[in-house]
Amino acid sequence: MAAVIGAETTPTIGAVFISEHWAKEAQLATRKEQVLAGTVDTQYDSVMSSGATLHIAHVLNQGVTAKSDNTLVIADAQTPTNQDITVSRYMYTATNWQSIVQKQADIVDLNKIAGQFGYALQGQVETDLAGLPDGLSTNIVGVFGQELTMDQWEEIWQKMQVGLAPRDNRTAWLSSAAISAWRKLGVTISSDYSKTGFGALDAGTIGQFLGFRMVESQYLESPAAGQHDCVVFHRDQFGLIRQQQPKVERERILLDLADLVVAWELFTTYETEIIAETAATETLTDAFGVWVKTV
């Protein structure tokens, strides 16, 4: 056996001879799927190309009166109001790079950072939309921290029916935990009962259930661990007005020897006032939606 000589050149001693390398591709931060904006009413985008406030007039159902002989016709004396919506969410994101950094950086450049702007701004829209469910007061189903039962799903469907929400364009915003609970109901993924939920186990995909388009979102508000504000609604219950789509602008700041890149948008989210069916009387509700308290 050879004798131990000692005085080796260890990695510590030889550190000056060992090169280090940077990967040419930077690792981007993870992203949430942005799906909520595509499920709400956006019909007023073109109307609000300018101005700050949108007024939506209300039209009430007419009352009916029996006509007796030798009596005068009395017209309905309606006093409808209107809903006012103000576009006020003026949001931006920005970065400011010195010229020396732009010249020397060879892994991440200014354009790659600016490429993150769209996700950031759309994320604010999704966050604002996710804040709408707990504003509903007419219909509330479920208990925070508890999975929904089939009876509760039927209760949600009944409330949408009684609220006279149109059958088309109904959507459910659900947390991942609520989706898992939905799968465990059994009938939701059995081909004996549903065709659209057939891939729920094999591919983890979800389709429609009770006429609701099932949408999973990581943006939904969570009052506490294991709790989420979920919702079932018709498209007309929630709205989004985007007066200015994300716009990117770049300016050379000579006094700083830097480039400032800003992306900004102007929008608002809102809950539509639903006019109850009651004839000749204005009763405002939010009956086209159900606030679902669950996991």
**What is the tens place of the pLDDT at every residue in 100-129?**
999 999 888 888 888 899 999 999 999 999
In whole angstroms, what is the distance from residue 116 CA to residue 110 CA? 10
pLDDT tens digits for 145-178? Answer: 999 999 999 999 999 999 999 999 999 999 999 9
pLDDT tens digits for 71-106? Answer: 999 888 888 999 999 999 999 999 999 999 999 998
pLDDT at 158: 98
pLDDT at 110: 87
Side chain identity at 262, as an amino acid letter? V
Q: Assess whether pLDDT exceeds 70 at residue 195.
A: no
Q: How many CB atoms lie within 10 A of CB 141?
A: 21
Instruction: Tokens 């909520």: give the residue.
Output: 36
Nearest to 172 by CA among 189, 185, 153: 153
DSSP string, 24-87: SSPPPPP-----SGGGSB-TTTTTTSS-SEEEEE--PPPP-----TT-----------EEEEE-
Q: Assess whether pLDDT exceeds 90 at residue 196.
A: no
More confident of the two residues 2 and 53:
53
- In this predicted structure, which of 1-15, 198-212, 220-234 has the lowest mean pLDDT? 198-212
Sign of the Cα pseudo-torsion (34, 39, 40, 41, in order): positive
Query: Exposure pattern of 21-54 as b/e (b: 16+ CB <10 Å)?
Result: eeeeeeeeeeeeebbbbebbbeebeeebeeeeeb
Looking at every residue in the chain, the average pLDDT score rounds to 92
Percent of the chain residues topping a pLDDT of 90: 79
- In this predicted structure, which of 8-17, 195-204, 207-216 has the lowest mean pLDDT? 195-204
Instruction: Tokens 């939309």: give the residue.
Output: 129
pLDDT at 189: 60
pLDDT at 149: 96
Q: Assess whether pLDDT exceeds 80 at residue 234.
A: yes
- SS3 (DSSP) at 138: coil
71 burial level (CB within 10 Å; 0-12, 13-18, 19+): exposed
Q: What angle do CA 237, 239, 242 make, to 5 degrees?
A: 175
More confident of the two residues 270 and 11:
270
Q: Assess whether pLDDT exceeds 80 at residue 217.
A: yes
In whole angstroms, what is the distance from residue 221 CA to residue 36 CA? 13
Q: Assess whether pLDDT exceeds 80 at residue 140.
A: yes
pLDDT at 198: 56
pLDDT at 193: 55
Percent of the chain residues topping a pLDDT of 70: 93
- SS3 (DSSP) at 242: strand
272 burial level (CB within 10 Å; 0-12, 13-18, 19+): buried
pLDDT at 206: 75
Nearest to 48 by CA among 270, 250, 284: 270
